[in-house]
């Protein structure tokens, strides 16, 4: 028996793949999970569903000319521009060319790494879920939060968190291994500093304490052959 106000069974807000065992799709999803730090496949499907709904809405508006469609189109364009998925003067058809990665790049977890506030996607996820990150003065605890262009510059750590200190050891981003190797090679190539200055070396050469190397002769002296010596004798 249900009473007024009782919560009903929550339904999922994403569409699952049509077939559960597709090798190519599974390999692509595994690569995406590693790149963007997704916790499970359902997070990927949520982002794909969001983009699919945008595209379906654009297709539906293309076949309508009434005033309501113009209002809906304006609202859709404003939303897409605010999310950074299209620019001000772009036609609405641009949405049909968007890929899933365009949506993945607008997630809070991804932007935390892109802004240099976290070393990796896993660390960014940990900072968010543990309540260390706030957007526009509001604490956000779910990594899949879609950040608008206005909110992008307002991503920061909670003032009471120890991570708000830029010198915190977990916020120090180490240089890549390739750059470290290049620095070592440059150090080896550096010449040792001179013990004497050029003026001191010239003075020592004039005094004779430093021997000058004899310059090689351009042409060797002509040595008489053996048969020439015999003729003279």
Q: Could you read off the pLDDT of 137-172 as tens digits, one per residue?
A: 999 999 999 999 999 999 999 998 888 888 888 876
For residue 83, is it within any domain? yes
Please indicate, yes or no, whether residues 92 and 130 belong to a single structural domain of this protein.
no
**Domain carrying residue 175:** 107-187
Kindly report the length of the chain: 233
Domain boundary among 47, 70, 105: 105
For residue 203, is it within any domain? no
pLDDT of residue 165: 83
- From the list 111, 11, 88, 103, the residue with the least C-alpha distance to 52 is 103
Percent of the chain with pLDDT strictly greater than 90: 51
For residue 51, is it within any domain? yes
Please tell me whether residue 193 adopts helix, strand or coil conformation. Answer: coil
CATH code for the domain in which residue 149 is found: 3.10.290.10
Domain boundary among 75, 105, 135: 105
Please indicate, yes or no, whether residues 98 and 118 belong to a single structural domain of this protein.
no
pLDDT of residue 88: 87
Domain boundary among 51, 83, 105: 105
DSSP 99: -
Please indicate, yes or no, whether residues 164 and 111 belong to a single structural domain of this protein.
yes
For residue 216, is it within any domain? no
pLDDT of residue 229: 47
For residue 3, is it within any domain? no
Please indicate, yes or no, whether residues 101 and 112 belong to a single structural domain of this protein.
no
Please indicate, yes or no, whether residues 114 and 61 belong to a single structural domain of this protein.
no
pLDDT of residue 204: 64
Domain count, the chain: 2
Please indicate, yes or no, whether residues 89 and 114 belong to a single structural domain of this protein.
no
pLDDT of residue 219: 47
Please indicate, yes or no, whether residues 168 and 181 belong to a single structural domain of this protein.
yes
Residue 69 Ramachandran class (φ > 0 left, ψ -120 to 50 alpha, else beta): alpha
Q: Which residues of the chain have pLDDT under 70?
A: 1-7, 172-197, 201, 204-233
Separation in Å, CA 73 to CA 50, 60, 88: 17, 10, 13
Please indicate, yes or no, whether residues 117 and 171 belong to a single structural domain of this protein.
yes
For residue 6, is it within any domain? no
For residue 43, is it within any domain? yes
Please indicate, yes or no, whether residues 45 and 94 belong to a single structural domain of this protein.
yes
Q: At what angle do helices 23-36 and 41-62 cross, to 10 degrees?
A: 100
Please indicate, yes or no, whether residues 115 and 139 belong to a single structural domain of this protein.
yes
For residue 217, is it within any domain? no
């Amino acid at each position: 028996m249900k009473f007024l106000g009782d919560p009903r069974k929550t339904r999922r807000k994403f569409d699952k793949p049509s077939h559960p065992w597709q090798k190519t799709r599974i390999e692509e999803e595994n690569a995406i999970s590693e790149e963007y730090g997704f916790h499970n496949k359902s997070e990927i499907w949520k982002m794909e569903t969001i983009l699919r709904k945008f595209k379906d809405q654009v297709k539906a508006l293309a076949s309508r000319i009434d005033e309501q469609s113009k209002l809906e189109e304006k609202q859709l364009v404003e939303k897409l521009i605010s999310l950074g998925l299209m620019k001000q003067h772009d036609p609405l058809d641009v949405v049909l060319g968007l890929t899933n990665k365009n949506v993945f790049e607008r997630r809070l977890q991804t932007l935390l790494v892109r802004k240099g506030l976290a070393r990796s996607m896993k660390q960014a996820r940990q900072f968010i879920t543990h309540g260390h990150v706030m957007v526009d003065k509001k604490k956000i605890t779910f990594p899949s939060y879609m950040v608008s262009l206005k909110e992008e510059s307002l991503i920061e750590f909670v003032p009471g968190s120890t991570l708000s200190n830029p010198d915190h050891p977990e916020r120090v981003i180490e240089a890549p291994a390739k750059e470290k190797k290049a620095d070592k090679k440059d150090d080896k190539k550096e010449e040792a500093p001179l013990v004497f200055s050029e003026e001191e070396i010239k003075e020592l050469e004039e005094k004779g304490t430093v021997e000058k190397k004899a310059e090689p002769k351009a042409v060797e002296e002509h040595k008489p052959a053996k048969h020439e010596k015999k003729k003279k004798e």
